[in-house]
Amino acid sequence: MKFAVQINSSPYAGAAGEMGYQFILAALASGHSVLQIFFYFDGIYHGLAAQLPPDDERQFLRRWSQLSQQHGIDLVICISAAQRRGLLSLEESRRQNRTDQDLAPGFRISGLGQLVEATINADRFIVFPGA
């Protein structure tokens, strides 16, 4: 079965990241595929490049990038939610005459149309809610 997942809470203010990650691992282990993770609401903070938790803590960025590299899962950050919260890709920040590059490698910024397409293409769309 093809899954797509939406993550709605930030790494440290909710459980959506952990639950979503564990769900995806279980789905992959059961032979399913995961097309896309769509980060929305405060979930966009998962794509912040400069997250530097201590080494003995959970490394969300490493987890997501491994899922993306090893299983080809598309990591999409919603552009309107990201801009509102100050997470800019290099391309977007140039447009604003800024120099920020806030987007972690492996993620891409796109619109809500990607979420709609994921709901159409996936057999199941699973939302992990925010706080």
Partner 1 sequence: MKKYLIIMRHPPHGSIHVQEQLDIILTLAAFDRLVSLLFLDESVFQLFRGQSAEQYEHKETLAIFDALALYDVNDLWVETESLMEKGLILEQLTLPVKTISRARVSQFMSGFDVILGG
d(CA 70, CA 24): 13
Q: Does 23 engage in binding with partner 1 (CB under 8 A)?
A: no
- Our answer to whether residue 107 is catalytic in this structure is no
Nearer to partner 1, 27 or 81 (CB): 81
Site for partner 1 contains 83 (CB under 8 A):
no
125 binds partner 1 (CB under 8 A): yes
| First-to-final CA distance of the chain | 28
Binding status of residue 121 toward partner 1 by CB under 8 A: no
Contact 13, 44 (CB under 8 A): no
Q: Does the footprint of partner 1 cover residue 130 (CB under 8 A)?
A: yes
Strands (E), 55-113: 74-78, 107-110
Distance (Å, rounded) from C-alpha 77 to C-alpha 55?
A: 25
Name the site residues for partner 1 (rule: CB under 8 A).
6, 8, 16, 40-41, 80-81, 84, 111-113, 115-116, 119-120, 125, 127-130
Q: Give the residue numbers annotated as catalytic, written as ranges.
A: 78
